[in-house]
Amino acid sequence: MFPMMEIVKEYDRKRKDQSTFHDIYNGIIDEITASKVFVDMPLYLKERASMKDETLLFSRAVISNRERRTEYMNSLAPQSARVIPVISSYLHRTGEANSLGLQVNDLRPNFDSIAFRSLYSHFLDDWNEIQQIATANDFVILDLDTITPYPTASNKRFINAWRDFDTCPKILLRSAIDGDVTNVGLDHGNIAYDIDNSLLETYKNSFRADAFGDYTGIKKDDLTSGGRISPGFIFYDAVSNQYIGFKGDVKRLEEFETTIVPDVINSEAANAMLQSGLPYLENNPGWETLNRIANGEESGKSQAKFKKIAMEHYLHCIKTIIDAGEFN
């Protein structure tokens, strides 16, 4: 399991003492325990007025400029043994042709592996260039965004294009949680049918991919400013590969402690995982945090904390599935 870090701003507010991009992000990578880390400055971001100022500035000043983005990526060369730079074509951003090859020429001297990330709507435009310059040490990431993880007439074109490609590993990336899913719209204690995590079941046989990637149990962030208190939590049920929605009765942070946590702990999904025979909830950091909150040992009055709980729980469940050989 390798994480992908998407860098969307120049500075990290928790590291005010570190003044440069190089210091900040090499420091963050130092703290990651995985043996490899994909690092992207994502070109898919759509600039909009509601975007956070720091993100909009970084998008315009760095991400939109191929040479400057590459310069920033090369500043992570001290971590080259672990970092896998993620690059995308600028054809649909600035109109520049052959931009993948130009980035590879500038990055290859510092990094042994490079990942080519292509959004599904651009994939066929990118594919000829990718397959010509990819090496055995590289990775190809096909980003489905939130489109269906099942073969259809349109996405079979992707499958047919890359099905026999075996130069390097192919990764299918998709967000299980559509952007329209909201905490208010959750049906408390019931399956969130608008969330589709079936990529785990289709990535290999249907899409001929070697691996999959997702957003670890949380919604893909649109990076906009603001936000209101809306207590809600989406709990992954590893037995059924579905998500169960929980929400507060009122828009107060106390609802996490009084309504959501006890109902998650006593849910059918939690019981199914406990009875499954696999250690889904053993040594599970997210589950342990829920129990500490339930026992009054830790505050649960934080929406951000419940994102972390969702991620930790999901990652532990996926690791459990991997260890059980389910993806073999």
CA neighbor of 240 nearest in space, from 317, 168, 296, 164: 317
Q: Does 205 reside within a domain? A: no
The angle at the Cα of 101, spanning 99 to 104, to the nearest 5 degrees, equals 110
Rounded to whole angstroms, the Cα distance separating 84 from 140 reads: 12
* Long-range pairs of 66-73 with CB within 8 A, sequence gap ≥ 24: 66/90, 66/94, 66/96, 66/99, 66/102, 66/103, 67/106, 69/41, 70/103, 70/106, 70/107, 72/21, 72/41, 73/39, 73/41, 73/107
Q: Are residues 93 and 190 in the same domain?
A: no
Among the listed residues 295, 303, 296, 292, the one whose alpha carbon sits nearest the alpha carbon of residue 252 = 303
Task: Classify residue 115 by burial, with Cβ atoms within 10 Å: 0-12, 13-18, 19+.
Answer: buried
Whole-number Å distance between alpha carbons of 18 and 27: 9
Query: Running DSSP on this structure, what letter comes out for residue 225?
Result: S
Which residue's entry shows tokens 């052959």?
Answer: 98
Q: What is the CATH number of the domain that holds 66?
A: 3.20.20.70
**Residue 138, beta-bridge partner list:** none
Question: Do residues 109 and 191 both lie within one domain?
Answer: no
pTM over 0.85: yes
Quote the mean pLDDT of the chain. 93
Domain count, the chain: 2
The token duo for 260 is: 């959501």
Residue 176 sits at the vertex; the CA angle it makes with 172 and 177, to the nearest 5 degrees, is 145
Tell me, yes or no, whether 190 and 87 share the same domain: no
Angle made by CA atoms 26, 172, 306, in degrees to the nearest 5: 60
Residue holding tokens 């590459």?
70
Report the pLDDT value the prediction gives residue 19, as an integer from 0 to 100.
75
Same domain, 101 and 115: yes
For residue 221, pLDDT over 80 is answered with: no
DSSP string of 238-261, one letter each residue? TTTTEEEEEE-SSSSTHHIIIIIH
Mean pLDDT lowest among 21-30, 111-120, 215-224: 215-224
CA neighbor of 306 nearest in space, from 246, 239, 251:
246
Q: Which residues contact 134 (CB under 8 A, 6 or more apart)?
A: 116, 140, 167, 168
* Positive/negative CA dihedral, 263, 246, 193, 316: negative
List alpha helices for 163-234, DSSP H. Answer: 199-202
Closest CA to 320 of 261, 263, 274: 274
Half-sphere exposure in the Cβ direction for 185 (13 Å, CA): 10
Q: Report the Cα 20 to chain-centroid distance in Å.
A: 25
pLDDT in tens, 159-194: 999 999 999 999 999 999 988 899 999 999 999 999
Residue 226, pLDDT > 60, answer no
CA dist 16 → 21, 90, 103 (Å):
11, 32, 30
Q: Residue 168: which region, alpha, beta or left (left: phi > 0; alpha: psi -120 to 50)?
A: beta
Ranking 20-24, 170-174, 265-269 by mean pLDDT, the lowest is 20-24
Q: What is the mean pLDDT of residues 259-283?
A: 98
pLDDT by residue (tens digit) across 151-162? Answer: 888 888 889 999
Tell me what the mean pLDDT of segment 222-235 comes to.
80
Query: Is residue 168 domain-shared with residue 61, that is, in the same domain?
Result: yes
Q: Which domain holds residue 74?
A: 1-173
Q: How many other β-carbons are positioned within 10 Å of the β-carbon of residue 259?
A: 19
Query: Cα dihedral angle (248, 249, 254, 256), rounded to 10 degrees?
Result: -20
260 shares a domain with 234: yes
- pLDDT tens sequence across 133-147: 999 999 999 999 989
CA Rg, the chain, in Å? 21
Examine the domain organization and report whether 235 and 159 are in the same domain.
no
pLDDT at position 15 = 57
- The answer as to whether 211 is a domain residue is no
Residue 206 lies in a domain: no
In a domain, 202, yes or no: no
Is the residue at 200 inside a domain? no
Domain boundary among 139, 173, 207: 173
